[in-house]
Every structure is written in structure tokens, then in C-alpha cells.
């Protein structure tokens, strides 16, 4: 049998990690499979930068097309990110009989259905462990290790930048702006951090996890998403007082075939496992009908963790190439009659911080509006009197529908005594 030949497109940070790992492990792979895995070519527009590793003369080329059209290459590793030209290159590689490993969550979240269909037509595979949670083998977990389960819920911290910022804000009592600046200075946030802080990166990733868990392609525009730009130090402090920590959570839930998928800052219990996930770490907490609660925790980004996932995929595909069998993407449970529910239909507990005049009867007025909208209060914090001026009132609620919550807040925000927009957090029940 001929060697299994790897072509890598994109020789940036992750590409360098993959090459380092492959160079070290080629002998191991040979023993595993009885055939050598071989690094054939690397394509990158930048042929000049010194990446600090030795590669044979002529291995680094500038034209990615040369890799997807090379008949001798078996597996194409796409590490350039973005929609194009990644999309066209992957499709061409599949058409040409190659399997693909990618870390490209944006592409898969937007074009996954089309790409996996294309892969199926050509009887080839797309592996994408590195696209969610860096080195954490969560895709393998969902597809294989937990395959015997129906997944009821996923609560995931899957963006290291935002978790780092929120951790810094909590630990050092600094503002979002200052924490973001630190994150940039220390390399935890990109120069343009919008994809991360807006929640969009988490949305891409929860689309992938939800699609596997539900056996149905979730569309990116079906995911309700909020970022962390508006997280205020005062709410972090109130959260602490109430026994919570604010985390940017990506959430998937399924109940009676109704699916909820969303990304938003959430208050989670400070004694739980998710609260213990600090800094740039990621964690994915799942509930399955047989396995119960299970959590994966690790580094969600970086050269080496991401390379760990990419190379694990190369190993899996190599195994499948040798055996001549590919594996389907979707777990495909029988109950596929599922509908995505809108954000209004979601039930949650809530944290409200009202900014209202310190005047007798205000709390009773607020409680009245909440009650009219079927929202019942579980606790109230009202401190620091400031007669006649605006003060905060913090309210925790029992579970209520999002649409009722929004109706109530609309009314409250228009009241004469209300002097600022009400701050709302969903509160996680774990």
C-alpha cells in the first residue's frame, strides 16, 4: 500500500503546530497503521517568513491549487480560515477524491450542509475536531464516545477570548474596556476582536455542536446571539453577591423535539464546574439520557492544542482510508422531526437590574408589571438609598418566557420613575 500523503493549506500558527507534530510522530503513525503517513506539501502565500522549523526544500509552495489537484495527496488540511477561497479549495479537494481536515468553524457553520453533502457525493470525509474547543476532543466525544446518548443539553464556554476578558473583569474589578485592552496586549484577543466579543465565534461553534447533537443542520441565522460588550462591573459584583459568575455561554437544549440554540452572557452558579473555568480555557458541559452530565475542559485555541486536534483527525482519516470505509457526519437519531424555537419561546430565570428613582412604591410598581407578564420574583436586592435620585434595584426571577420578559421590560423602561435601560441576564440552572 502506498503512503498516506498530507497536504497542508495555510502555514500560520496552527499550520506550524501541525507540521511540528507530524514531523515528530511519523514513526508512531507508521507503527499504528502499518503504513507511513507522509507530509507531502504545504501551501502558503508567504514563502519567506521563518517559522522556526526545518522543512525539505520545495515542500513549501505558494499555490494551494497545486495541493488540491495533486493526485498523490490523500488528505488536505485546510487552515486558512474564512469562506473563500477555503470553500472552493475544500470542494475541489473532495471532488478530486481527497478527504479534508479543517479548523474552519465559520465556513462549516455557514456552508456545512453543502460541504458535507458534497463530501458524501464523493464518498469522502470532512473532519473538524479543531473547529470547536481547540484541543478538546468534543466532536469525537459527541460522534463516538457518547454516540449511545440522546443529548438533552449543551452548555459551552467555547470562546477563550471572552472568557479571559470576563475572568479579568471579575478578578481585578476592571471595566470591559480595560480587560479587552489587557487581552489584546497579552495576545488573548485579536487586533479586531469583534468576531469573539460579539458572540459570533461562539455561535459558529454551537451551530456545529448542535447539528451533531440534534442530527439536524442548525442554520446560523437561527441562533440568537449576544456578546459581552455590555457586561458591566456592577453586574459582576451583584452576581457575586447572589452566588453567580457571568460567563458567555453557548447553549443547546432539546425537549420534545423543540430545539433552542443561543449564545449570551449568563449567570451560572459559583459552586459549579462552569464557574471554575477561568482564563482562556474552554469547557463543554453536556447532558445525555444515559451518560448524565459530562464535562470536557481544556485549551480552546493556540498553536499546540489546535494541532493536537488536527493531527488526531489525520489519524482517524488515515485509519478510514486504510480500511476503505468512511463514517457519516450526523449521528442521525430517529427523532428528526425537530423545530428550532424562537428566542421568545425560551424559558429561563432572569436577573434584572433596574435603574429607578428612589421613591416609595417604585418596587411595587415593577413587581406589578412583572406579575402582569407572568414573571414571579425570587429575590430582590435594594441598597444605597439616594432619595429622589436614580438607584439600582436588582431582581432575580423564577422561570418565565423570554417574550413575557421582553414585554415587561419594555413597559418598565418607559415608566416615569425609570432612569436607565434595564439590564437583563439569563440565569443558568446548574
Binding site for its own copies (CB under 8 A): 17, 21, 25, 27-28, 31-32, 129, 135-137, 140-141, 144-149, 271-273, 275-277, 288-299, 302, 304-305, 307-309, 311-312, 315-316, 319-320, 322-325, 327-328, 331-334
Residue (of 166, 109, 149) closest to 132 by Cα position: 109
- 91 or 168: CB nearest its own copies: 168
Residue (of 331, 329, 330, 333) closest to 94 by Cα position: 329
Note whether 303 and 79 are within 8 A (CB): no
Catalytic residue among 91, 205, 247, 253: 205
Q: How far apart are CA 20 and CA 37, in angstroms?
A: 14
DSSP 307: H
Phi, psi at residue 391, to the nearest 5°?
-135, 160
**Closest distance to its own copies from the beta carbon of 203 (Å):** 24
- 32 or 349: CB nearest its own copies: 32
- 276 or 381: CB nearest its own copies: 276
| Residues facing residue 363 across a β-bridge | none
- 144 or 172: CB nearest its own copies: 144
- 221 or 335: CB nearest its own copies: 335
Q: How far apart are CA 23 and CA 26, in angstroms?
A: 6
- Which triple of cell numbers denotes residue 339? 423545530
Q: How far apart are CA 40 and CA 26, in angstroms?
A: 12
Q: How far apart are CA 17 and CA 13, in angstroms?
A: 7
205 is catalytic: yes
**Which region holds residue 380: left if phi is over 0, alpha if psi is between -120 and 50, else beta?**
beta
Strand 258-269 versus strand 339-340 pairing type: parallel
Q: How far apart are CA 26 and CA 58, in angstroms?
A: 19
Active-site amino acid positions: 205
Amino acid at each position: 500500500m502506498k503512503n498516506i500523503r498530507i497536504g497542508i493549506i495555510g502555514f500560520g500558527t496552527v499550520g506550524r503546530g501541525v507540521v511540528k507534530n507530524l514531523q515528530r510522530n511519523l514513526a508512531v503513525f507508521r507503527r499504528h497503521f502499518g503504513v507511513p503517513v507522509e507530509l507531502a506539501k504545504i501551501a502558503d502565500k508567504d514563502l519567506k517568513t521563518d517559522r522556526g522549523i526545518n522543512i525539505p526544500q520545495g515542500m513549501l509552495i505558494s499555490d494551494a491549487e497545486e495541493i488540491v489537484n495533486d493526485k498523490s495527496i490523500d488528505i488536505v488540511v485546510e487552515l486558512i480560515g474564512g469562506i473563500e477561497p477555503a470553500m472552493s479549495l475544500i470542494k475541489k479537494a473532495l471532488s478530486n477524491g481527497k478527504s479534508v481536515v479543517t479548523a474552519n468553524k465559520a465556513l462549516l457553520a455557514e456552508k456545512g450542509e453543502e460541504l458535507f453533502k458534497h463530501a458524501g457525493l464523493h464518498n469522502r470525509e470532512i473532519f473538524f475536531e479543531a473547529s470547536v474547543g481547540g484541543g478538546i476532543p468534543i466532536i469525537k466525544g459527541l460522534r463516538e464516545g457518547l454516540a449511545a446518548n440522546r443529548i438533552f443539553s449543551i452548555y459551552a464556554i467555547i470562546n477563550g477570548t471572552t472568557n479571559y476578558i470576563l475572568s479579568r473583569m471579575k478578578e481585578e474589578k476592571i471595566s470591559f474596556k480595560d480587560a479587552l485592552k489587557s487581552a489584546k496586549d497579552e495576545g488573548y484577543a485579536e487586533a479586531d476582536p469583534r468576531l469573539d466579543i460579539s458572540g459570533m465565534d461562539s455561535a459558529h461553534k454551537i451551530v456545529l455542536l448542535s447539528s451533531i447533537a440534534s442530527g439536524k443542520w442548525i442554520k446560523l441565522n437561527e441562533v440568537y446571539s449576544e456578546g459581552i460588550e455590555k457586561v458591566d462591573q456592577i453586574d459582576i459584583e451583584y452576581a457575586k453577591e447572589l452566588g453567580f459568575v457571568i460567563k458567555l455561554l453557548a447553549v443547546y437544549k432539546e425537549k420534545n423535539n423543540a430545539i433552542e440554540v443561543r449564545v449570551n452572557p449568563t449567570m451560572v452558579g459559583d459552586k459549579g464546574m462552569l464557574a471554575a473555568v477561568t482564563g482562556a480555557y474552554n469547557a463543554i458541559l453536556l447532558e445525555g439520557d444515559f451518560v448524565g452530565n459530562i464535562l470536557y475542559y481544556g485549551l480552546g485555541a493556540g498553536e499546540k492544542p489546535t494541532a493536537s486536534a488536527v493531527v488526531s483527525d489525520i489519524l482517524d482519516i488515515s485509519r478510514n482510508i486504510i480500511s476503505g470505509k468512511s463514517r457519516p457526519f450526523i449521528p442521525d437519531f430517529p427523532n428528526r422531526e425537530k423545530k428550532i424555537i424562537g428566542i421568545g419561546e425560551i424559558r429561563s430565570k432572569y436577573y434584572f437590574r433596574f435603574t429607578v428613582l428612589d421613591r416609595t412604591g417604585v418596587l411595587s410598581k415593577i413587581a406589578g408589571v412583572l406579575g402582569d407578564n407572568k414573571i414571579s420574583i425570587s429575590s430582590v436586592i435594594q441598597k444605597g438609598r439616594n432619595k429622589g435620585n436614580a438607584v439600582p434595584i436588582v431582581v432575580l426571577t423564577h422561570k418565565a418566557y423570554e417574550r413575557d420578559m421582553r414585554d415587561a421590560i419594555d413597559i418598565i423602561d418607559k415608566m416615569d420613575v425609570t432612569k436607565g435601560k434595564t439590564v437583563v441576564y439569563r440565569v443558568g440552572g446548574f
